[in-house]
Chains A and B, each alone.
Chain A
Amino acid sequence: MYDINHIYEATSVEHAVQLRVEQPQAKIISGGSDILISIRAGEMAGCDLISIFGLDELRGVTLDEDGTLRIGALTSFTHLANDPLIKELIPVLGEAADAVGGPQVRNIGTIGGNTCNGVTSADTASTLLAHDALMELTGKDGVRLVPLTEFYLGAKKVDLRPDEIATAILIRPESYQGYFGHYTKYAMRNAMDIATSACSVNVKLSEDKKTILDARIGYGVAGPVPMRTPSAEQAVKDKPVSADTVEAFAAGALEDVNPRTSWRATKEFRLQIQGELARRGLTEAIRRAGGKVS
């Protein structure tokens, strides 16, 4: 039994926004796998909840007319991992979703709820970041689009206003077309774990597969929020596909990451892994793009 005071169940997005305005003290619950655990731990005893679990209109992956990939905020990780559009257009995102926890957790966890938690370890966050994703937020004044790079304000803090709910995550066609990516979740066991370090790399190669036109890298657990490493990306832009370029990429990544020592892992260890993840991530992304690192 959870120490909850009152649950308000939203019947539509508009209703959810209205509840947000009427019940400013209430917290949103989408899949519940984070909030219910906090309640059980006594952190939110006696709280009010606004449940958006019933908003089926926020579940699913579609393609807008302009080619923008629209992922409903309540889409489960299982759905993402199996979705045909995702598999066709941005398979690395499906692979990242498939790395979350275990089957039961993937069934209940939602990409919107998970992203709005603002944690650096979220499996899909680094991939979304590395594809310049946008958060679609709906509030009393209408719809607001926020680039994911600006959505994270700090550890567990996101730019979600008190009257808003996240309704979708968008990826523009220019952000995914022609790119090939690879996600590695580095954790202490192969399931039911949170990343100790996570790295999503994607590349766009020239026609002859010998030059890197663009490379993007998103890290999880390399800093307080999911992050890109521009030093790595700039180091390899327009450079030849080669082992040296891969080394430069890894070195660039290590310039920008900022892992800390905690009881879970030391900074030195994280750096060792993060460098290796960049190296292997780029090599694999290049391979998927049809290139070959000499």
Chain B
Amino acid sequence: MSQIQYKAITFTLNGKEVAASIDVRESLADMLRNDFGMTSVKKGCEVGECGACTVLINGVPYDSCIFLAIWIDGKEVTTLEGLMDEEGNISDIQQAFIDEAAVQCGFCTPGFIMSAEHLLREGKRYTRDEIRKELSGNMCRCTGYQNIVNAVEKTMEKRLEEKEA
């Protein structure tokens, strides 16, 4: 059997530059979970269908389970852990998920928050239907999506208000 192929990569993880020697067979999800302890990245299907593994790469949401780890070289990755600041303060969207009862089993929550964060950073006003579309790559079985859409909409309105102020 042939040798395992490794590649040395450097990338930014939640704002910090990191280096790693990666087994090229690893998915980004595997690498983040196993090598960097980012257990917020969840595996629900491993075929890019459920969105539980969603992370932001250069600010854009991807299913990390079908993203090769070596492709992250030179890029920025943000996981849910990266939305909390150094003092332990959480972001507005995380607080909104708590306040709007948008969390039940919590397994889909990291993926949803990352998809939502992307939408929110666009700085646009989305209709509820458009919000649903932006979140349509994330599946949930507990919430019927209702409070999740509420949490995202409320946070969007607050950020837009602050911007306009």
Interface residues of A (CB under 8 A from B): 1-7, 9, 29, 32-33, 36-37, 40, 51, 53-54, 78, 101-105, 107-108, 190-192
Q: Enumerate chain A residues within 8 angstroms of B137, measured Cβ to Cβ.
A: 101-105, 191-192
The answer on a CB contact under 8 Å between B68 and A104 is no
Judging by beta carbons under 8 Å apart, are A32 and B25 in contact? no
Asked if B70 is at the interface of the complex by the 8 Å CB criterion, the answer is yes
Q: Which single residue of chain A is at the shortest CB-CB distance from B136?
A: A191
Report the Cα distance A263→B65, complex, angstroms: 28
Which residue of the partner chain B has the closest CB to A4?
B25
Residues of chain B within 8 A (CB-CB) of A78 are: 60
Q: Which of A3, A5, A29, A108 contacts B62 (CB 8 A)?
A: A108
Q: How many A-B residue pairs have CB under 8 A?
A: 83
B137 nearest CB across to chain A (Å): 3
Partner of B30, one of A1, A6, A9, A37: A1
CB <8 Å contact, B70 and A7 = yes
A27 vs B135: C-alpha distance in the bound complex, in angstroms?
32
Q: Which of B23, B27, B68, B134 contacts A51 (CB 8 A)?
A: B68
How many chain B residues sit at the interface, stated as a range, is: 20 to 34
Say yes or no: A105 contacts B48, CB within 8 Å: yes
**Separation of A36 and B46 alpha carbons in the complex (Å):** 10
Interface residues of B in 64-108 (CB under 8 A from A): 66-68, 70-71
A-B contact pairs, 8 of them (CB 8 A): A1-B30, A6-B2, A51-B70, A103-B118, A103-B133, A103-B135, A107-B60, A191-B136
Assembly CA distance A190 to B133 (angstroms): 9
Judging by beta carbons under 8 Å apart, are A3 and B25 in contact? yes
Q: Mark B111-127, 1 if CB is under 8 A from A, else 0.
A: 00001001000000000
Q: Are A107 and B61 in contact (CB under 8 A)?
A: yes
Evaluate whether A105 and B63 lie within 8 angstroms (CB atoms) in the complex, with A4-B24, A191-B133 already known: yes
Which has the most chain A C-beta neighbours within 10 Å: B47, B63, B70?
A: B63
Q: A104, B30: Cβ atoms under 8 Å?
A: no
A103 touches B27 (CB 8 A): no
A5, B2: Cβ atoms closer than 8 Å = yes
Q: Nearest CB to that of B57 among chain A residues?
A: A107
Centre residue among A1, A7, A102 by max chain B CB count within 10 A:
A102
Q: Which residue of B lies closest to A102 (CB)?
A: B137
Task: Tell whether A32 pairs with B66 under 8 Å between CB atoms, given A1-B26, A192-B49.
Answer: yes
Residues A103 and B115 in contact in the complex (CB < 8 Å), given A1-B25, A32-B67, A37-B66: yes
Contact of A7 (CB < 8 Å), options: B5, B51, B60: B5
A103 contacts which chain B residues (CB < 8 A)? 61, 115, 118, 133-137
Q: Taking the complex as formed, is B54 at the interface, i.e. its CB lies under 8 A from any CB of chain A? A: yes
Contact partners of B70 in chain A: CB under 8 A: 7, 9, 51
- Residue pair A108, B2 in contact (C-beta under 8 Å): no
Contacts of A37 in B (CB 8 A): 47-48, 66
B55 CB to closest chain A CB (Å) equals 10
Residues of B within 8 A of A4 (CB): 24-25
Q: Within the complex, what minimum Cβ distance (angstroms) separates B162 from chain A?
A: 25
Q: Kindly name the residue among B5, B24, B47 whose own CB sees the greatest number of chain A CB atoms within 10 A.
A: B24
Write out, one digit per residue, whether chain B residues 20-56 have a CB within 8 A of any chain A CB (1) or not (0).
0001111100100000000000000011110100100
Question: Are A108 and B49 also in contact (CB < 8 A) when A7-B24, A9-B70 are?
Answer: no
**Cα(A37)–Cα(B70), bound, Å:** 17
How many angstroms between the C-alpha atoms of A104 and B54 in the bound complex?
8
Q: Contacts of A6 on B, CB cut-off 8 Å?
A: 2, 5, 24
Q: Which residues of B contact A192 (CB under 8 A)?
A: 49, 136-137, 139
CB-CB nearest in chain A for B60: A107
Contact across chains for A108 and B67 when beta carbons are under 8 A apart: yes
**Nearest B residue (CB) for A1:** B25
Docked pose: A164 CA to B120 CA in angstroms: 41
Given known pairs A1-B25, A33-B48, A191-B133, the reply for A7 and B68 (CB within 8 Å) is yes
Listed from nearest, the 9 A-B pairs whose CB atoms lie closest are A102-B137, A191-B136, A104-B137, A104-B63, A102-B136, A103-B137, A7-B24, A36-B66, A4-B25
